[in-house]
Amino acid sequence: MRQGFVKVAAATPDIRVADVAYNTEKICGAMGEAASEGAKIVVFPELCITGYTCGDLFSQEVLLREARNALLKIASFTSDKDMIVFVGTPLSVDGKLYNVAAALNRGEVLGFTTKTFLPNYGEFYEMRHFTPGPQNAQEILFEGNRVPFGPQILFQAASMEELVVSAEVCEDVWSPIPPSIYAAMEGAAVIVNCSASDETIGKDGYRRNLIRGQSARLIAGYVYANAGEGESTTDLVFGGHNLITENGVVLKESERFRNNIIYSEIDIYRLVGERRKNTTFKAPEERKLPRIPFHIELEETELTRRFSQMPFVPDNEQEREERCEEILTIQAMGLKKRLAHTRAKTAVVGISGGLDSTLALLVAAKAFDMLGWEKKRIIAVTMPCFGTTDRTYQNACKMAVQVGAELKEVRIADAVNVHFRDIGHDPEDHNVTYENAQARERTQVLMDIANEKNGMVIGTGDMSELALGWATYNGDHMSMYGVNASVPKTLVRHLVKYAADTAKDRELQEVLYDVLDTPVSPELLPPKEGSIAQITEDLVGPYELHDFFLYYMLRFGYEPSKIYRIAAETFEDRYGTAAILKWLEIFCRRFFSQQFKRSCLPDGPKVGTVALSPRGDWRMPSDACVALWMKDLEAISQAD
């Protein structure tokens, strides 16, 4: 539970219809297994103490009496279990029968969440036996104790106030206005559902989308436990289709048609942070729903959920290709509008033979196609200097020709040497002045060519470089429209690969593949034996790590220690913990110290949920202090 991770379980035990003793034994067995796995929230199916398919046996007093006794036995079984359990059972109250999810914790029955919407269509006839729950929660007398009874009861962990759980029962989530909406609005971060949803053709996909969508709409975790094998097959088959979702993402899904328990960890702090940022997610001015405390220990949660090494890049190949096409279109549409609005006659792109400038050139070409302009109006400028290698130079030239742009070469070494002489810099001193003078000279050349040709300079820098400040202020940092400004480096690579894979021109395809195979470098230092002497990732760190850090810091507001923890598990096959900590410290320091460069960024299109525009997603003072973030990492250093 530390750092917000709470392990949850959706369990479908083997049952026998109306065999309450057998079902109780299996439920307790599943609870014991879940406890050994460290689950803090465990959810069982609808009416699983008796079986959902008892039919008119629900009118038999013996069944209802045994179900009540079984519930007390199951509650007692939780006495030494560090968990809150939700189990479906029938409950007779004041002469009426209700379909409820009972919440159990530390040997006690904490409350009964009633089913609000009773299906009475198709294969369902619940209104034959059950009464819809009351509109608002009330108290009933149960075994001598006053216990909450009704919809939208909130169960709040005493050791972690952000952990608020609420239940609904099966059909409730299929209704137009699920009860969980109101529970979430009053603070429920986790919704559990005790369900008995039978299997018909295609229903699993609908169910999956329904639960995933509800968790997204509510910015919540959702634990859905469904009835399975053991229910009557007189007319129906139940597949035990269990789901654990978080804010629209399926964390874990069971295989259908076999009873089992699934586990995952819901990130409560992530959900709470998302709600804080979302101004349309508003809590009611007055709290109306009852809050019942429950008790679980605050301890380290072993993670079983997996985090993608490249969170900006979809794992699925088809989805990745669709994403790449969409991003390229967004970039090109943004540039198309800007070119048309400014009545520019040309687009000027500085090309180096590297990934970023390659992407910018491809986007410019796509924008020109959208405008119906001849691509020879794109001026691709190569500016060789002290660090340029023959490989990148040749690739830049070939690419410009294959795209159909006008290739212009401006050798800047003489101009830079004159500048060195003017400012009194020794050309043999390869310090930051030596490097940045070249970058600023290139930007000056591009700007002046744009003026000469009534054009617009297209920025090439990507979001990863902006996060790290890995750009020369008023050098490659500046342009008239930055098409790559919200595209991280890991995604740039996939965009270029997608362009290569789908290119119809074989020569262009070969050039793009060679660009992909070229080490990332600013090429500002003289080559060593003809090869690139300056490898960016050797200096500033692996971009795949920095993009991982960037995503979780900006998208979810994770503290550095939490980012370190999930990075250590995610990249354990690639980097040691010392290396991850080193690069994370560098990331934090650079991210804070380099904000001044981001505060004056050129315009550029937002393409994803994370962006650094000072006019939109990220508004940070340039002199903010990094001390708190570094202090959070110090504890890790001391522990190691």
Give catalytic residues, as residue numbers.
Answer: 46, 115, 170
**What are the residues facing 236 on neighbouring strands?**
none
**What are the residues facing 93 on neighbouring strands?**
96
Among 243, 183, 242, residue whose Cα is nearest residue 217: 183
Task: List the 291-294 sheet strands across, edge first.
Answer: 249-253, 243-246, 221-226, 190-195, 160-169, 154-157, 291-294
Distance CA 31, CA 227 (A): 16
245: left (phi over 0), alpha (psi -120 to 50) or beta: beta
Give the 3-state secondary structure of residue 171. helix
| Other residues' Cβ atoms within 10 Å of the Cβ of residue 189 | 28
225 within 8 A of 10, measured Cβ to Cβ: yes
Distance CA 367, CA 330 (A): 10
- Nearest-10 crossing angle of helices 432-452, 413-423: 120
One-character DSSP codes across 27-86: HHHHHHHHHHTT-SEEE--TTTTT-TT-GGGGG-HHHHHHHHHHHHHHHHHTTT-SSEEE
Q: CB-based burial of residue 6 (10 Å sphere; 0-12 exposed, 13-18 middle, 19+ buried)?
A: buried
Structure-token match 């406890």, residue found: 35
Distance CA 187, CA 183 (A): 6
Distance CA 126, CA 119 (A): 6
Distance CA 612, CA 606 (A): 9
508 within 8 A of 380, measured Cβ to Cβ: no
